Structure 1
Amino acid sequence: MSRASLLKIIVSYRKPMVGLLLSTLAIVSSHAQTYNIDPTHTNVRFAIDHFNTSTNTGGFYNITGQLEYDPMTKMGDISLVIPLNSLNSGNEAFDIALKSADFFDIEKFPLAEFNSTKWHFSTDKKGSDITKVEGMLTLHGKTNPITLTATKFNCYFSPILKKSVCGGDFTTIIDRRKWGISKYTLLGMTEKVQLDIQIEAAKQ
């Protein structure tokens, strides 16, 4: 057999193998889905002790971003853009104070952002398989790592949107001083702030 004939046989053998490999990769990658954050079902709420007397609460709304989620390969990624002007505590005077340069300084820093760096999954099938999400929170011009604890996470087919929707609840406690927001800490107002994050995102 000539060398040319042998090469033709090898090439003809490799073509279907390459095609099979590409098809397999396409099937695997097709499991990774992209979801757009639904601003009407996504918010970041905060709670902070008020001089050991009561708890002040409020929230940020109209949040945008994207979610990548693949339960088969245990992969997740999320990015959130939080408009600080959407702050609502139910108290207009308190909102104005929080938006001022003493706290969030929204004229200088109108947005906060969260970008995940690592998702943690559990093998316990009794609850959500997502346990924690690590990421970077950018706020007040500073970026620091935080870890969100997942209290629940699930996906379902929305009869209203006619598409898959994923979402869940997450919580963490941060030290506001790390983001340069230390007003009144010397007077006894705690630096610890609890964040409760609710997200919901619809498949693209």
Structure 2
Amino acid sequence: MHFLCIEQKTQYVYYLSIVPLLLVSTISDSHAATYSINPTSTHIKFAIERFKNSATAGGFYNISGQLQYDPDLRAGDISLIIPIDSLNTGNTSFNKSLIGPDFFDAKMHPSARFKSTKWYFNKAKKPQVTRVDGYLTLHGETHPISLTATKFECGTSVGFKQEICGGNFTAMIDRTKWDINKFAWFGLTKNLQLNIKVEAARQ
């Protein structure tokens, strides 16, 4: 009886050790399509309210990265690289201030990154993306954020004869969590509403 218990325990340990390998195998064997982010059609826009004056809109551009997407498995993955010096508000002086050491500090932290950890879908027969969770690395800090999908679709582009995935997402971040604190308590927007547009072409 004692020997049987040891044998059962051994089988249980073996089962626990093999499950992660099976999961990895399932993911690697899936047929998720891979897409390359189009920098000219992908951007992150925001608005900054300066000392209770009208808001100034700005954005980050020339974003690169990769998307993997499989609607049948209700699975996705996206990684974005955001160059900080691409920031543009239409005001050269304000641009320099924002990418300077008091705010985003492009010299010390030239890029921000977003890496998804989980995609959420509705229960419709044709699944739609509803939310994407992930980690945003910005200004040397990494914290979780959630992106709410307002639209995400894939289809063949008539002009380019290539499969394209595109989507719009929104997110709210508190910049002080990423140690960007300048004037946060004196009227310069602390919470930033991000409006994210992504487009990617199948490789």
Query: By how many angstroms is 1:159 displaced?
Result: 2.0
What RMSD over aligned residues (CA atoms) do the two structures have, in Å? 1.9
AA in 1 matched with 2:121 = F
Query: By how many angstroms is 1:122 displaced?
Result: 0.3
1:44-59 maps to which residues of 2 (within 5 A)?
A: 44-59=44-59
Residues 112-135 of structure 1: CA distance to partner in whole angstroms, max 9, x if unpaired? 000000000002469x71100000
Query: By how many angstroms is 1:29 displaced?
Result: 4.4
1:95-106 maps to which residues of 2 (within 5 A)?
A: 95-106=95-106
Partners of 1:160 and 1:190 in 2: how far apart?
Answer: 41
In structure 2, the partner of 1:136 is 135
> Does the residue aligned with 1:149 lie in a helix, a strand or coil?
strand
In structure 2, the partner of 1:161 is 160
In structure 2, the partner of 1:148 is 147
Partners of 2:141 and 2:125 in 1: how far apart?
Answer: 38
Residues 73-101 of structure 1: CA distance to partner in whole angstroms, max 9, x if unpaired? 00000000001111111010110100110
Partners of 2:62 and 2:80 in 1: how far apart?
Answer: 10
Q: Number of aligned residue pairs: give it.
A: 178
Normalising by structure 1, we get a TM-score of: 0.82
Show structure 1 runs of 4+ deviating over 6 A.
Answer: none
Partners of 2:125 and 2:105 in 1: how far apart?
Answer: 44
Query: By how many angstroms is 1:137 displaced?
Result: 0.2
In structure 1, the partner of 2:191 is 192
Which structure's CA Rg is the greater one? Answer: 1
Partners of 1:132 and 1:123 in 2: how far apart?
Answer: 13
Structure 2 unmatched ranges of 5 or more? 1-24
In structure 2, the partner of 1:85 is 85
Identity fraction in percent: 53
In structure 2, the partner of 1:115 is 115
AA in 2 matched with 1:47 = A
In structure 1, the partner of 2:175 is 176
> Does the residue aligned with 2:159 lie in a helix, a strand or coil?
coil
